[in-house]
Structure 1
């Protein structure tokens, strides 16, 4: 996914259980893995695909969730719902990236980037190759769903 992570978090926040800070957790979790783009662009200068960084590895987030969720359930039970929304949004991000971007689902057993669709480099820019590929309709659909939910919430 190129542009639909934030609106997917909005959809999750609207359709999930309504709770204080739930929307914030959904929005932050939905985009958090892509904060590695700062390192990718300004430090690594694009030498390593950013989906190979630790914030895009499902096992990393599974370990963090396995440690934090029991602690939150024991000592801050009132925050458990928000934490679950946050980790669900991260999982949603990784699932959306699996469509055409590739995610390291089998780490530590192999370092293959798993994806459903390969977007060929048909344009001079990788971004235009994604935007002009038929799979970009999924991103437009997510944006459309977020817009419909936003309009519905404003009317209420």
Structure 2
């Protein structure tokens, strides 16, 4: 098989049938009347071959790593779907859906970063500075409880 030329998205290879007259597998590649065969090899073909080789190997370590990876990713996808509106696209078109997915990923990463930062500040004893940054009444539930305690005193409110 010899390299012939390149098109926009693939390399073109050509082989003559007369070069494979004595090959026992010739009938798989050429029909009876064929004089040549053209094969297009697209970009990423090497990656495809590598993925096929990995898939055919019985690699237990790879399978356990993939299993662990899969349940982590499913949790993140579930969070994006239920809490951040990725159940349904807000706009039509691949570009707009990609932007929505990127913005959702940014929001989820910022939430995780804020949680880690707050945990670090609590660990180092600087969580009061974090409360000042976030504002005094960052939790509306706590504000409601504070107002009730102010109105009723420190005793519990009975319904």
Same fold flag (TM > 0.5)? no
TM-score by length of 1: 0.23
Task: Indicate the structure with greater strand content.
Answer: 2
